[in-house]
Amino acid sequence: MAFMSPTDSLFLLTETDKQPMHVGGLLIFGAPEDSTSSDLINQALEDRRVSDFLRNVAEPHFAGTAWTWRHDADIDFDQHVKRHQLPPGASEGDLLALCAQLHSERLDRSRPLWEIHVIEGLPLDRFALYAKIHHSVADGVAALSLLRSRLSDDPDIREMPAPWVDAAPEEQPSHSGAGPLRSLVSLVKDGVSTAPALADMTLRSLASRGGPLSISAPKTVFTQDISEERAYAAKSWPLERLRLIAKSADCTVNDVVLTMCAGGLREFLIEMGELPRKSLVAMVPVSMRPQSDDTTAGNQVGLLTCSLGTNIPDARERLLHVSARMREGKNFIASHNATQNLVTSAAAVAGLAPMVMLGRNLLVNPPFNVVISNIPGPSEPLYWNGALLEEIHPLSIPVSGLALNITCVSQCDRISVGLTAASDVVPEPDEIAVDIDSALDELERSVGL
């Protein structure tokens, strides 16, 4: 029995039917080289073995304030792995709509907190996997590392196990739990050591100098209560386009990603007649893992807030503004240790907890307007029994008061942006995806490309 960290437990404590706390990924594969996708899927579904890591059930303790993992030796395979057939002539929009529907459905806590949906019927004998896993189990970096361990960079390898089967022993993720007394002692020690960091965070927020805390975000159309229904859109671009902009403007690719999203949100809100005079603020998760291939279960994520410059008409000036704010935030992280960064991040969003737990927006002005994550994915082509992984599209978590979540994943020479929204607030997030595409064109022109 392993106790969860307070961060991991929080995703269970704040979950409601309207706010499922799982993340997801849509993986699109090309046709296998020497068989059909149907044959490959049939063979995989015959293997009903399940990884030990995927047999853990969350259990509450101390009136639900702390949670542990319990191993389940006899899970119901058919409740976790399911097969879908798209209708003839189905489009990518139909695939994304199916994923939005599946992403709306809360995971059953009486079972291990994951599902994998195998989806057939894509053109050219392609197929897809939509996988979702509770955020208490893994953050985005750990989930992608787990994915990487199930695939191969060798297109000629066959007889690979299904994604739900055990990986090699050295690639197995592990839960890093501790006893409740030890966790309490550590928390007290950490509280003493993080007091200066919390003071620094507060002073930076008052001076608008970057860091985890923001007190300047305006109210927007996204600051609403939400229903349980989800809408989803995804779009991808060659990564080289972003690299050239970053080189021309002497900034990072992540700065370009944030500014693309800022430009898209600005245009979307202008079209609605709802652009605030003050800049939107993004919450930007930052991995605190020591290595990008770390598969330790749970969450090791710090947070930064970043003014997106949506009140700046010029695209290049907006990019320079975002880059400067992110540089200030990174300086904050660099000047504190991992524990301090995790604690200050938790403190910065503590005010959201009652709102999230009640499923109602209780704030006149939110601390930030949108979550924008950028997760590094595999840098080399990956295969599953000869089928090339062509695309990865991420899905994430909207909550009341934050009805839109934007998550980006890079893969080889492309980057994908997934927009997960509460459909009653943002019924057509594909409109924002189109505006982000236009914002990328605008950024290229602004730096002379």
Active site residues: 135
Strand partners, 393: 26
* Pairing mode of beta strands 281-287, 370-376: parallel
For 337, the token pair is: 């240790």
Query: Pick from 396, 368, 219: which is nearest to 306 by CA?
Result: 368
Residues 6+ apart with CB under 8 A from 319: 245, 249, 251, 255, 256, 259, 443, 446, 447
Compute and round to an integer the Cα radius of gyration of the chain. 21
Q: Please check whether residue 51 is in contact with residue 415, taking contact to mean a CB–CB distance below 8 angstroms.
A: no
Q: How far apart are CA 203 and CA 181, in angstroms?
A: 33
The 404-411 sheet, strands edge to edge? 230-238, 414-422, 404-411, 370-376, 281-287, 301-307
DSSP string for residues in 193-257: HHHHHHHHHHHHHHTT--BS--S-PPP-TT-S---S-EEEEEEEEEHHHHHHHHHHHT--HHHHH
Which residue has 């993004």 as its token pair?
Answer: 282
Compute φ and ψ for 160, nearest 5 degrees. -75, 140
Residues 6+ apart with CB under 8 A from 65: 9, 13
Compute φ and ψ for 128, nearest 5 degrees. -140, 155
Three-state SS at 298: strand
Query: Pick from 386, 367, 365, 389: which is nearest to 378 by CA?
Result: 389
The 114-120 sheet, strands edge to edge? 81-85, 114-120, 127-134, 22-29, 387-395, 383-384
Q: How far apart are CA 419 and CA 236, in angstroms?
A: 12
Residues 6+ apart with CB under 8 A from 395: 23, 24, 25, 26, 99, 103, 132, 232, 407, 418, 420
Q: Which helix (H) or strand (E) holds 390?
A: strand 387-395
Sign for the pseudo-dihedral over CA of 285, 286, 287, 292: positive
